[in-house]
């Protein structure tokens, strides 16, 4: 995505992309609630859930391979004039940022790119902190029904009540990434979102009131989704020699 969108719009686009994880969590809860109402003679409810959600994931993977462009100049959804403008916009975005990078634009990952990624301590530290910052997202994504169940809500109601926190999380993410791009600020926005997530976690851990704890699940997720995409945007915005492996072009060649 950093090869398609300039730095000042990348945060919001990455936020929209990663925000679909929150939307998926909400829909997963709704689908699970509906499926657990079905009485099937040959399949268990959890088997139906796996088949339906797995089939949707495989279908969207195939659509992604067919729809995404291999390179910006050849994007099927752009006219020739729009493609020229898009390429010029990206060139202006990185112009003058690296003399060496400007002279060696091969469009593929080089040995130097790999070495830079593994020897730059700042990038490695960024990766570590990004993993730590996204742990709450993974934990809530996998265990939200169990977390809600631990607050006193049982059965299919726990699956249904796991929907709204993800919706609030997606809304919070979209607001934070929009503000980040609007004011061209990454660090303060990331720190603010993480403070919100930490406050939610503290209240959930210390309170013994189920309704209050459930309410602060929403507060936690409103900030927890933001760090991942904005840290990636921050890293991409400070890596001027962006390269893109044309994997989709190769896949299309094999398919057709």
pLDDT digit string (tens) for 13-52?
Answer: 999 988 888 888 778 777 777 777 777 667 788 888 888 8
pLDDT of residue 182: 92
pLDDT over 70 for what percent of the chain? 86
pLDDT of 160 higher than 50: yes
155 dihedral zone (left: phi>0; alpha: psi -120 to 50; beta): left
Residue spans of the domains in the chain: they are 7-255
What the block records as the tokens of 246 is 């044309």
Tokens encoding 69: 């462009």
Taking only the tens place, the pLDDT of each residue in 111-127 is: 887 888 788 888 888 88
Lowest mean pLDDT among 62-66, 110-114, 166-170: 110-114
**Mean pLDDT throughout 223-229?**
92
Q: How far apart are CA 160 and CA 53, in angstroms?
A: 16
What is the average pLDDT score of the chain? 81
Output the DSSP codes for 3-59. TTS-HHHHHHHHHHHHHHHHHHHHHHHHHHHHHTT---SSS-HHHHHHHHHHHHHHH
Which of these, 145, 147, 193, lies nearest to 19 by C-alpha position? 193
What's the confidence (pLDDT) of residue 5?
Answer: 86
Helix axes 121-150, 163-183, angle to 10 degrees: 150
């Amino acid at each position: 995505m950093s090869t398609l969108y300039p730095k000042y719009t990348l945060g919001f686009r990455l936020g929209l992309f990663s925000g679909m994880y929150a939307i998926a969590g909400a829909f997963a809860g709704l689908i699970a609630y509906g499926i657990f109402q079905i009485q099937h003679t040959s399949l268990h409810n959890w088997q139906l859930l796996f088949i339906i959600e797995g089939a949707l994931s495989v279908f969207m993977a195939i659509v992604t391979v067919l729809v995404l462009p291999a390179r910006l100049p050849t994007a099927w959804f752009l006219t020739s004039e729009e493609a020229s403008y898009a390429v010029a916009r990206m060139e202006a975005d990185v112009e003058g940022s690296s003399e060496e990078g400007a002279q060696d634009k091969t469009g593929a990952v080089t040995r130097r790119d790999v070495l830079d990624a593994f020897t730059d301590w700042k990038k490695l530290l960024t990766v570590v902190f990004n993993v730590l910052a996204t742990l709450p997202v993974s934990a809530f994504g996998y265990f939200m029904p169990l977390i809600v169940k631990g607050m006193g809500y049982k059965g299919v109601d726990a699956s249904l009540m796991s929907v709204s926190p993800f919706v609030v999380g997606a809304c919070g993410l979209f607001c934070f990434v929009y503000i980040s791009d609007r004011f061209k600020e990454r660090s303060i926005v990331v720190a603010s979102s993480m403070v919100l997530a930490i406050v939610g976690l503290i209240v959930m851990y210390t309170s013994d009131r189920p309704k209050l704890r459930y309410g602060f699940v929403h507060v936690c997720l409103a900030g927890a989704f933001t760090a991942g995409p904005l840290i990636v945007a921050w890293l991409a915005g400070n890596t001027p020699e962006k390269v893109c492996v044309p994997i989709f072009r190769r896949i299309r060649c094999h398919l057709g």
